[in-house]
């Protein structure tokens, strides 16, 4: 458990991100956390490099609606302070914390405050003895580092941990995670670290983590992008939606457009993705520029639109042709239809929960 959020087992795969504001600036950090929460983040990591940061961390924890992970490097006392301030999890590299006595202190603080621990192994900061042994970062070195750190915690009778073996090289990261999954049975935190910018990093992360998720490996993930943290959250959910593992929000099916299009598909989709970000209910929307593939795709989605001649386009509801809409009214009309459908689904879920006196609606939401 990371706070109230289960990680591992049959729990949904959770999506994480990390703030990039100065943690000592509590207001800026809280504002950024709020945007990430709106995007759907299940867990958010906050760096605590100094005493000013841990001093502000308590205020930040109280304002956050999702569990916060305190990111700790080297300074074990920051871990103690963050645990006391309300961290749901401590991200540490036990080998960097120092002596066994210092690790024991961190474990005691974690136990006393109900904190989980994430062991964070990274190809860019492997221990010197492992680099000397293997000559370079390799899957075997990452796995050995992870197993050594796991043993450090287990020797102190601490078992509430998850593990990451990240690398910026896709092949190295994937091989390391596959090796670790064979070696241990504990929750794994997936990531391709330092993946790059929004487009390049999304591609690298999707190839690497998609491979692992398809193989059934991974319990929580963070997409590491040189972009705003809320973008990491959106990419994470799109990845899970593409694999059928999470269904939060609107799944858009759209064509790349061509000379046959009856309306500007590219700009319409861009506008819809922006305007529908607030929708959390899982539903599908197809936006196709013409009638070649449009009707077929529309039959498989909750709401669909296909381009027609003369600025007159067909709208499909639950896969059935329903009515036409003019180009000038199309964008607002689709948004209204999606919002109405989302409200209908939410109402049905609520009624299902009330009708039998159970928490079915909440259970569906929790599973989502």
Q: 117 pLDDT exceeds 80?
A: yes
Report how far Cα 348 is from the mean position of its chain's Cα atoms.
27
What CATH architecture applies to the domain 14-242?
Answer: Alpha-Beta Barrel (3.20)
Q: What is the phi-psi region of residue 257: left when phi exceeds 0, alpha when psi lies from -120 to 50, beta otherwise?
A: left
3 state SS for 79-134: HHHHHHHCCCEEEECHHHHCCHHHHHHHHHHHHHHCCEEEEEEEHHHCCHHHHHHH
pLDDT of residue 359: 35
Q: Which CATH superfamily is domain 250-367 in?
A: Sulfite Reductase Hemoprotein, domain 1 (3.30.413.10)
Question: CATH 3.30.413.10: which residues of the chain?
Answer: 250-367
Pairing mode of beta strands 303-306, 312-317: antiparallel
Q: What is the DSSP letter of 328?
A: H
- Given a cut of 90, is residue 78 above it in pLDDT? yes
Q: What is the pLDDT of residues 48-63, one digit of tens each?
A: 999 999 999 999 999 9
- What pLDDT does 363 receive? 33
Neighbours of 272 (CB within 10 A): 21
Task: Give me the mean pLDDT over the 309-338 stretch.
Answer: 94
pLDDT tens track for 125-165 = 888 899 999 999 999 999 999 999 999 999 999 999 999 99
Whole-number mean pLDDT of the chain?
Answer: 92
Whether pLDDT at 356 is above 80: no
pTM of the predicted model over 0.85: yes
- For the ranges 90-99, 117-126, 173-182, the one whose mean pLDDT is highest: 173-182
Q: If you count them, how many residues does the chain have?
A: 368
Taking a C-beta distance cutoff of 8 angstroms, is the pair 251, 279 a contact? no
Which residue matches tokens 């006391």? 84
């Amino acid at each position: 458990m990371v706070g109230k959020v289960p990680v591992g087992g049959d729990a949904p795969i959770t999506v994480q991100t990390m703030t990039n504001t100065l943690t000592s600036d509590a207001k800026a950090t809280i504002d950024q956390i709020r945007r990430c929460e709106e995007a759907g983040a299940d867990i958010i990591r906050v760096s605590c490099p100094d005493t000013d940061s841990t001093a502000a961390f308590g205020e930040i924890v109280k304002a956050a609606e999702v569990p916060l992970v305190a990111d700790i490097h080297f300074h074990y006392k920051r871990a103690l302070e963050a645990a006391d301030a309300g961290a749901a999890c401590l991200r540490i590299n036990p080998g960097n914390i120092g002596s066994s006595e210092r690790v024991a202190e961190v474990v005691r603080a974690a136990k006393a405050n109900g904190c989980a621990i994430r062991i964070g192994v990274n190809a860019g900061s492997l221990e010197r003895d492992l680099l000397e042994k293997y000559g370079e970062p390799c899957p075997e070195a990452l796995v050995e580092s992870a197993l050594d750190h796991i043993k450090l915690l287990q020797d102190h009778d601490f078992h509430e941990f998850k593990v990451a073996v990240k690398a910026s090289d896709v092949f190295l990261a994937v091989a390391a995670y596959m090796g670790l999954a064979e070696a241990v049975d504990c929750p794994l935190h997936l990531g391709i670290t330092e993946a790059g910018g929004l487009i390049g990093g999304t591609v690298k992360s999707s190839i690497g983590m998609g491979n692992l998720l398809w193989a059934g490996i991974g319990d929580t993930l963070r997409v590491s992008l040189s972009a705003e943290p809320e973008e990491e959250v959106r990419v994470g959910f799109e990845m899970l939606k593409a694999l059928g593992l999470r269904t939060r929000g609107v799944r858009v099916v759209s064509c790349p457009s061509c000379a046959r299009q009856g309306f500007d598909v590219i700009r319409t989709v861009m506008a819809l993705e922006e305007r529908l970000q607030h929708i959390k209910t899982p539903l599908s929307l197809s936006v196709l520029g013409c009638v070649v593939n449009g009707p077929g795709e529309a039959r498989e989605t909750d709401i669909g639109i296909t381009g027609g001649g003369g600025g007159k386009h067909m709208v499909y509801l639950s896969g059935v042709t329903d009515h036409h809409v003019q180009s000038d009214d199309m964008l607002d009309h689709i948004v209204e239809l999606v919002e109405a459908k989302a409200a209908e689904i939410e109402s049905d879920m609520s009624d299902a929960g009330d009708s039998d006196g159970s928490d079915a609606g909440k259970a569906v939401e929790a599973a989502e």
